[in-house]
């Protein structure tokens, strides 16, 4: 199962390290990643990940919520089909 | 591969523009629950609802978590109770069982306390309709609806007259909550059998045993999209709304199919209606104003609403294999902040709302009128709306609340039902017309065979 992880918030050091570190702990594989800092300080990162067998999207969301709180950013994990259904025919 | 812009666009729709699935509604047939005993029928209804809908809340919450899309309501809808209870006469017992089951499975409303009397009323159906006020006062979650007209049958004016009295009686029995019972009662013409939205949802007699229908939302998304094209022509406006509707509907279809599969039900339809809420940036009224009106109710409102409704349908039908229900723009006054503000500014009147209902998906919806409004005037309002629906071959409905003991001001219903400024009804009356009863014949263009 594939999911999109989006991280949006104020830029600071260690965002990628902390998020990918947690994903590694969960056994998720990062397949694609794009990251920009807009307007000088607005951090946006989008990752396509493959979830470990048997792991639910909700569980990844829960696990990343403490990382989001620590970093002061918003992190969402959503099954990729919601994006595919909206933007692909 | 998806690009970053597309992903951010979807996230922004959910996060900033209040995109959500308004309702996942499980429709259940109760025809296998009919018996000659009221208690036995009610027991069978309770058992069926609990066994089929027991996992509804859990499944919907899983889908919400998986896709990160809020699903605001989970609801149930059943076969018209006027038919299910006819053999036993135990209408109220069935309603209590429905209310009880709705609370147990954790849904906020259960629809289907319904009679379809567009041509004639049986004695049982008349008895059923007379129980509506008492049932709406005695239950918290049961919603009632009565279909009084159709393009094929004409308008049953005996039922129209009766429903004026039923609306008034419902208001009186729920006077302590400003007539809240009337917010759970819809009078239809051309009612649809697969509508997932309350209060008018029921499982039509030709529907399956267990069907999942989905109602989407999205006024905020449409507003945000058209904010970016200010000053462009109506062609661009229509195209932009179509494109937006397409995306929203695709999401609804995904959720509906997944919910149906997980619940062992059939997937029915996606209802494309733009359903507002009483918060800012989630309002059909605001969309109409963004189209170029200084306020909803201005001359030009009907044209804007017609274009909005049509563009939503065109985008939505491309996006889903099964579109149904009401599918248009809802204009409920109390549930839409743009409408509430327009009424308070004096820009939007009952007469203009009536005109708007000739081009949108429902009708006079969630409108508070003075408590002194007579039963025959309520009937006359219903008759006018039914005429618009029957002649134009579309669904129309009336959900008005004659607020007991109040002539002006505002009433608060809470939650998604919102707050309604009391709107004055016309000063003249149609008492002699309503007293005639009988049936308005079907229009000439209904004879298509």
What one-character-per-residue DSSP string does B95-164 give?
A: HHHHHHHHHHHT-SEEEEEEEE-SS---HHHHHHHHHHHHHHHH-SSEEEEEEEEETTTEEEHHHHHHHH
Closest approach of A11 to chain B, Cα-based (Å): 17
Hey, are the CB atoms on B69 and A82 less than 8 Å from each other?
A: yes
What's the confidence (pLDDT) of residue B228? 95
CB contacts of B15 in chain A (<8 Å) are: 74
The helix (run of H) or strand (run of E) holding residue B341 is helix B337-344
What's the confidence (pLDDT) of residue B107? 97
Hey, are the CB atoms on B2 and A61 less than 8 Å from each other?
A: no
Phi, psi of B127 (to 5 degrees): -60, -45
Q: How confident is the model at residue A89 (pLDDT cuts 50, 70, 90)?
A: confident
Pairing between β-strand A42-50 and β-strand A29-38 as defined by DSSP bridges: antiparallel
Q: By the CB < 8 Å criterion, does A20 face chain B?
A: no
Q: Which of B8, B15, B254 sits opposite A81 (nearest CB)?
A: B254
What's the confidence (pLDDT) of residue B217? 87
pLDDT at residue B398 above 80? yes
Q: Which of B66, B253, B254 sits opposite A58 (nearest CB)?
A: B66
Contacts by residues A31-34 (CB-CB < 8 Å, ≥ 24 positions apart): A31/A2, A32/B1, A34/B4
CB contacts of B251 in chain A (<8 Å) are: 82, 85-86
Hey, are the CB atoms on A4 and B254 less than 8 Å from each other?
A: no
What's the confidence (pLDDT) of residue A40? 75
Burial of B396: CB neighbours in 10 Å, binned 0-12, 13-18, 19+: buried
The span from the CA of A87 to the CA of A70, in Å, is: 32
Instruction: Quote the percentage of chain B above a pLDDT of 70.
Output: 100
Closest approach of B96 to chain A, Cα-based (Å): 36
Closest CA to B183 of B392, B405, B412: B412
Hey, are the CB atoms on B1 and A87 less than 8 Å from each other?
A: no
The span from the CA of B69 to the CA of B20, in Å, is: 6
- Average pLDDT score over residue span B203-221: 95
pLDDT at residue B361 above 80? no
Contacts of B394 (CB under 8 A, 6+ apart): B190, B361, B388
What's the confidence (pLDDT) of residue B1? 67
């Amino acid at each position: 199962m594939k999911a999109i992880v989006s991280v949006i918030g104020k830029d600071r050091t260690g965002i990628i390290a902390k998020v990918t570190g947690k994903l590694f702990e969960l056994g998720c594989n990062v397949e694609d990643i794009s990251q920009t800092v807009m307007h000088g300080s607005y951090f946006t990162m989008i990752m396509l990940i493959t979830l470990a067998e048997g792991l639910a999207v909700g569980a990844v969301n829960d696990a990343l919520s403490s990382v989001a709180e620590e970093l002061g950013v918003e992190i969402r994990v959503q099954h990729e089909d919601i994006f595919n259904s909206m933007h692909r025919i | 591969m998806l690009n970053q812009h597309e992903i951010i666009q979807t996230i922004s729709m959910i996060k900033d523009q209040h995109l959500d699935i308004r309702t996942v509604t499980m429709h259940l047939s109760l025809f296998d629950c009919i018996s000659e005993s009221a208690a036995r029928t009610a027991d069978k209804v309770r058992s069926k609802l609990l066994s089929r809908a027991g996992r509804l809340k859990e499944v919907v919450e899983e889908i919400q978590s998986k896709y990160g899309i809020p699903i605001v309501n989970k609801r149930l809808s059943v076969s018209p109770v006027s038919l299910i209870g006819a053999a036993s006469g135990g209408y109220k017992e069935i309603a209590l069982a429905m209310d009880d089951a709705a609370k147990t499975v954790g849904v906020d409303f259960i629809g289907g306390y319904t009679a379809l009397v567009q041509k004639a009323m049986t004695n049982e159906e008349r008895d059923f309709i007379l129980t509506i006020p008492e049932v709406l006062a005695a239950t918290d979650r049961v919603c009632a609806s009565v279909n009084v007209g159709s393009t094929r049958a004409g308008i049953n004016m005996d039922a129209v007259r009766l429903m004026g009295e039923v609306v008034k009686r419902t208001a009186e029995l729920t006077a302590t909550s400003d007539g809240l019972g009337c917010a759970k009662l819809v009078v239809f013409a051309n009612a649809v059998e697969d509508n997932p939205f309350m209060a008018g949802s029921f499982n039509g007699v030709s529907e399956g045993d267990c069907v999942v229908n989905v109602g989407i939302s999205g006024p905020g998304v449409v507003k945000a999209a058209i904010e970016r094209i200010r000053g462009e022509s109506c062609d661009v406006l229509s195209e932009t709304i179509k494109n937006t509707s397409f995306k929203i509907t695709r999401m609804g279809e995904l959720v509906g199919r997944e919910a149906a599969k997980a619940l062992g039900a059939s997937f029915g339809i996606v209802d494309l209606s733009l359903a507002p809420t009483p918060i800012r940036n989630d309002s059909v009224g605001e969309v109409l104003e963004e189209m170029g009106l200084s306020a909803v109710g201005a001359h030009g409102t009907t044209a804007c609403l017609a274009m909005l409704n049509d563009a939503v349908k065109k985008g939505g039908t491309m996006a889903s294999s099964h579109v149904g229900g009401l599918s248009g723009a809802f204009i409920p006054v109390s549930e839409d902040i743009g409408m509430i503000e327009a009424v308070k500014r004096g820009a939007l009147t009952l007469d203009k709302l009536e005109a708007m209902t000739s081009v949108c998906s429902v009708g006079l919806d969630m409108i508070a009128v003075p408590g002194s409004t007579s039963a025959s005037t309520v009937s006359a309002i219903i008759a006018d709306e039914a005429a618009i629906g029957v002649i134009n071959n579309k669904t129309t409905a009336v959900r008005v609340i004659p607020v007991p003991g109040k002539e002006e001001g505002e009433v608060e219903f809470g939650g998604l039902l919102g707050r309604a400024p009391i709107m004055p009804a016309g000063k003249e009356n149609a008492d002699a017309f309503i007293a005639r009863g009988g049936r308005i014949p079907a229009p000439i263009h209904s004879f298509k065979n």
